[in-house]
Each structure stands twice: as C-alpha cells, then as structure tokens.
C-alpha cells in the first residue's frame, strides 16, 4: 500500500521547522560549553533520533564521536510503552570512561530511557546524560534526569522530524499533531 500524503493525517503543526532549528542551535551551544575538554560521545537512538542528531551535531563545536543503538519495545503495536526494551542494534564503540550523551526524539512514560540508561551504565561511562527533543511531561511514570530538553509538549500523538506514523513521514521538517480521527489507523 502506498502511504497517503501527510496532510491527510495532520491536525496542526505543533512546532515549526524554524522553531526546531532555533532550539536545536541553542542546545548545541549549551552542549558545546558544558562538554569543553571532555570526551563526548553522542548516542543516537534509532530511528526517531536521526534528524535531531544530525542537526544537533552541526551545532556542537567540541570534538565528539557518534554511535547508534536501536531498540524494540516488547508489546510493540501499542501506543503505550510497556517498559521492557530489547536492544536490536548495539553500539560499535566502547563507552568506558567516555562522556556519553544520549540523543532521543521524545520521552513519554520514561521507561525506554530508563532501560537504556541502566543498560549503558553497566559499561561504565565516565558520565551519562540525556538530550531529548520533546518531553510529554504529563505522561511520565518513571523519573528520568533530562540534562537537555528541547520542548515540553502536551499529551498528543505527534509525528515528523524523526517521529513516524507507521514508519512514514519521519522526513517532515516540523512536528505535527495527528488528527484524532486517524489515530486508530496506526499501530505505532
Ligand atoms: P516511553 O518509553 O514511554 O518514554 O516512550 C518513548 C518512545 O515512545 C519514543 O522513543 C517513541 O518511539 C515513542 N513515542 C511516544 N510518544 C510518541 C509520539 O507522540 N509520536 C511518536 N512516537 C512516540
Ligand atoms: Mg523512539
């Protein structure tokens, strides 16, 4: 089946491309100040984090490495995060003694990032912090320390700028809210 044009699913643009780019530049500047002289490694959670990572790293002026991880949540197919995640792609870099910054698209219940942090801590990074673009703060079930946060958003299902609807529309340069009457059509 060929996916429909994104306009069919878009209720409203929540965060424009210009707003995202301005905030990402600020975050990059902050990270550059904070990590001066440290051995920064950005770890991007695939696939949602890729647009954020690639824009963010262009605003980070200190030397840094990048690596990628992919996760699957058990019981995927539901919009509710179960809290259980499985690593489907592991890092190719050793993180021992490095200053690790996780780059993630969105935090919702907090279970995904909690699991990722527990997993990474077993490898003894020198420091471990989180940079998240979107925070659905009112949905939090477990507290996660967020060192950098782009935007706090309401409890709405969003897509674009890395976030997908059934694997489509990650390329959109803005964050959009899904039309309520279309939500049922997606398993994500
Ligand atoms: P958590 O474990 O509940 O914090 O969920 C985090 C994950 O849920 C993210 O990595 C996303 O994959 C997914 N997610 C949560 N809310 C949204 C949304 O509004 N749009 C797309 N994905 C979402
Ligand atoms: Mg995700």
- Structure-derived torsion over alpha carbons of residues 72, 27, 155, 17, reported in degrees to the nearest 10: -100
Contact residues of ligand 1, CB 6 A cut-off: 48, 81, 105-112, 157-159, 163
Residue 10 included in any domain? yes
Residue 187 included in any domain? no
- Of 164, 152, 15, which Cα lies nearest the Cα of 79? 164
- Of 97, 101, 96, which Cα lies nearest the Cα of 69? 101
Tens-digit pLDDT profile for residues 128-171? 999 999 999 999 999 999 999 999 999 999 999 999 999 999 99
Catalytic residue ranges: 108
DSSP bridge partners of 87: 71
Residue 92 included in any domain? yes
**Domain boundaries, position 114:** 6-31+39-182
Residue 71 included in any domain? yes
Q: Please determine, for residue 111, whether its predicted confidence score (pLDDT) is greater than 90.
A: yes
Torsion 184-186-113-60 (CA) sign? negative
The CATH number that applies at residue 77 is 3.40.50.2020
Residue 129 included in any domain? yes
What does the chain look like in DSSP terms, one character per residue?
Answer: -PPPPGGGTEEEEEE-HHHHHHHHHHHHHHHHHHTTTS-EEEEEEETTTHHHHHHHHTT--S-EEEEEEEEEETTBTBSS--S-EEEEE--SS--TTSEEEEEEEEESSSHHHHHHHHHHHTT--SEEEEEEEEE-GGG-SS----SEEEEE--S--EEBTTB-BTTB-TT-SSEEEEPGGGGGG---
Q: Please determine, for residue 23, whether its predicted confidence score (pLDDT) is greater than 70.
A: yes
Nearest CA to ligand 1 atom 9: 106
Domain count, the chain: 1
Which pLDDT score is estimated for 81?
62
Residue 15 included in any domain? yes
Which pLDDT score is estimated for 150?
98
Say how many Å lie between the CA of residue 117 and the centre of ligand 1.
Answer: 16
Place of tokens 């539901």: 78
Tokens of 126: 């020198």
Q: Please determine, for residue 187, whether its predicted confidence score (pLDDT) is greater than 80.
A: no
Phi-psi region of 110 (alpha: psi -120 to 50; beta: other; left: phi over 0): left
Residue 108 included in any domain? yes
Say how many Å lie between the CA of residue 37 and the centre of ligand 2.
Answer: 30
Q: What is the mean pLDDT of residues 101-117?
A: 97
Say how many Å lie between the CA of residue 58 and the centre of ligand 1.
Answer: 25
Residue 1 included in any domain? no
């Amino acid at each position: 089946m060929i996916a429909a044009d994104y306009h069919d699913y878009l209720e409203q643009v929540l965060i424009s491309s210009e707003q995202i780019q301005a905030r990402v530049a600020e975050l990059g500047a902050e990270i550059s100040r904070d990590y001066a002289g440290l051995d920064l490694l950005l770890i991007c959670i695939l696939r949602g984090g890729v647009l954020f990572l690639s824009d963010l790293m262009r605003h980070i002026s200190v030397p840094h490495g990048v690596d990628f991880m992919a996760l699957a949540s058990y019981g995927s197919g539901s919009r509710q995060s179960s809290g259980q995640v499985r690593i489907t792609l592991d890092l190719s870099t050793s993180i021992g003694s490095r200053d690790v910054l996780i780059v993630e698209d969105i935090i919702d219940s907090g279970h995904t990032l909690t699991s990722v942090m527990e997993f990474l801590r077993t490898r003894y990074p020198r420091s471990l912090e989180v940079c998240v673009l979107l925070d659905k703060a009112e949905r939090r079930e477990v507290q996660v320390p967020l060192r950098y946060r782009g935007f706090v958003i309401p409890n709405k299902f969003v897509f674009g700028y890395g976030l997908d609807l059934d694997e489509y529309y990650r390329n959109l340069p803005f964050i959009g809210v899904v039309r309520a009457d279309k939500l049922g059509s997606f398993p994500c």
